[in-house]
Amino acid sequence: MCAKPDQPSTEGTSFARWGSSFSMKKISFIFVCFIILLFLYFSKIHEWPSVKILLDLQSHTRTAQTHATEGPFVTPYKEMTVEDVMSSLQGNLPTATNFTSFQSSSSARHSVARLEQPRAQFCVGDTLNVLVEMRDYRGRPKAYGGDFILARIHSPKLQASASGDVTDLHNGSYRVHFTLFWPGEVQVSVLLIHPSEAVQVLWRTRKQNYNKIAYTGTFASGSKTETSLCSFRLPKNRPLCEYKDEEQGEYFACVRPPTLPCSSLKTLYSYNTPGPSLTKEETRLLARENIALPIRNNFSAVKVIHCTVTTQRPTEKCVAGMKSPFPSGYFFANRWTSSFCQTSSFLSEDAINSCLMGRRLYFRGDSTVHQYYYYLEKKLTDLKFQGSFGPCLSQLAVDSRRNITVHYMKHFTPWISAHHIPVNGCVYVSRDLEKLELIGDGDGRQDAVVISFGQHFRAFPLEFFIHRLLNLRRAITQLQARSPQTLVMVKLENTRELNSKVLCLSDWYGYMQNMAQRKVFGDLKVALLDAWDITVAANTFAVHPHEIIVSNEVALFLSHLCHHP
């Protein structure tokens, strides 16, 4: 059997449910359980050194069991399971199962968006409510929800835009709330990304399906090279090389190469399999020409004016652990301003340098956070690239005068990429966080870790991604216990190209993954960088957004690290 990604955590789940009405007896009982759990947990720590990790290659023996010497780590946060997260997402999962024909699916062209309370003009700060009424291709009103809709307001001349918050009324109508952040002529755009019938297909084909993407592993030793099939799930009817981190429940395997040892696996590259079979109608639903179609407004641009002399600005500093609302901000003159905390414009080289002085930044994850690394390396002339080396070809840049270190490392497999992605020397981000040396409090400096992953998980079951998130959740709470000053930020997924292979990479998958990230990290002292909100507002639909977007995301990150430029 493969390691089950959805197996419940073995760490005490039961001492999380404190209530005020417990009797003394219950409390004593819980206390005894607590002691037993502590004991179990502690004995588990002492098993750790025997856990075989990954590729047993030179660079990552499990040396840094920092808390093994400090006694058991007891998290103040509730343990969370894959099931907890899945059930919190229930309301977003498609329920309709009545797909009969393409003609009865939601049609953007037949649907309409109306203003709920039309007025001659609105004030900055007002809410604008739009009601979207969906119809099918025959023009009949839809009676159930589940359509995947993205909405934004924008004033192109002002380079201003913001996302709308879409609520499914589950009867074929949707309410979209916008906050009117700036004065001017404001246009409303509502896109039907996928009709609910297509969402249904996306959801069905993702369940338990590890086979949309396959991997070829390259083994090398000396001058000899061999390749074989690799996957997160392989039938055991052939000899396998299994790479597991049992404690974290992480697993992948390759068919054993003819002669080379399992430990000689160097790289993986992916390719698309023929994928799940769809009916003709389903294929049509998911065709590019039926993705992201605009829904007609029955109103024109709205007029927004300043009604009071003073504009309300957020009074709180940006700190980790704040609840990020949606929308969380807006663009004006191509600059992103948060709606709930004070963002500073860390856009000039001087401002960025003075914020980063003496700090170490660790970027961990996919290419979307590598963009942050790369932006800084390019923007800051004294920050010099030191080379691509170390575990997993990580990248390091240093400004030795200002004592700034910026380090990027890829997350571990899966990567959806036809390039040879190294696995040799790579570790799961949760394992890497155990080893990071961070500056503690006292010296006035604060290091930062920015984590981003998701895009490469879209082709695999949601539970697989959530399992990875929960390992990260545990690693973050442990990191914060030993280094409370470190800023931990999780960058949510941004939208991507609409012509991406939809069954592997649809933005609906990304949307669901972001909901999962909000759930998993929402109660921690972690800053969520809502790249989804930012890229929906900016209408980018690019996995690697333009530098204007990246510079604003980095500025938002720095606003959490330094409160003044």
Ligand X SMILES: *[C@@H]1O[C@H](CO)[C@@H](O)[C@H](O)[C@H]1NC(C)=O
Contact residues toward ligand X (CB under 6 A) are: 95-96, 98, 114, 141, 143-144, 169, 171-173, 298-299, 358, 360, 403, 439
Query: Minimum Å distance from CB 105 to ligand X?
Result: 12
DSSP helix/strand/coil, 336: strand
Query: Minimum Å distance from CB 483 to ligand X?
Result: 13
Tokens 């993205």 map to which residue?
150
450: tokens are 């920015």
Taking the least distance from each CB to ligand X, the nearer of 44 and 114 is 114
Taking the least distance from each CB to ligand X, the nearer of 484 and 522 is 484
Residues 6+ apart with CB under 8 A from 274: none
Question: Residue 113 and residue 130: Cα distance in Å, rounded?
Answer: 6
| Cis peptide leading into residue 49 (ω within 30°) | no
Query: What residues are paired with 394 via a beta bridge?
Result: 389
Taking the least distance from each CB to ligand X, the nearer of 114 and 204 is 114
Query: Minimum Å distance from CB 450 to ligand X?
Result: 17
Q: Compute how many other C-beta atoms are within 10 angstroms of the C-beta atom of residue 3.
A: 17
Taking the least distance from each CB to ligand X, the nearer of 447 and 493 is 447
Rg of the chain in Å (alpha carbons): 25
Taking the least distance from each CB to ligand X, the nearer of 220 and 439 is 439
Question: Residue 449 and residue 446: Cα distance in Å, rounded?
Answer: 10
Question: Residue 330 and residue 533: Cα distance in Å, rounded?
Answer: 9
DSSP helix/strand/coil, 248: helix
200: tokens are 């249904």
Query: What residues are paired with 385 via a beta bridge?
Result: 397
Query: Minimum Å distance from CB 438 to ligand X?
Result: 9
DSSP annotation string for 491-536: EPPPP--TTS-HHHH-HHHHHHHHHHHHHHHTTSS-EEE-HHHHHH
- CB of 9 within 8 A of CB of 470? yes
Taking the least distance from each CB to ligand X, the nearer of 101 and 298 is 298
Task: Give Cα 460 to chain centroid, integer Å.
Answer: 14
Query: Minimum Å distance from CB 360 to ligand X?
Result: 5
Taking the least distance from each CB to ligand X, the nearer of 180 and 404 is 404
Taking the least distance from each CB to ligand X, the nearer of 42 and 299 is 299
Query: Minimum Å distance from CB 119 to ligand X?
Result: 13
Alpha helix segments (H runs only) across 191-300: 196-206, 280-285
Query: Minimum Å distance from CB 164 to ligand X?
Result: 17
Query: Minimum Å distance from CB 405 to ligand X?
Result: 6
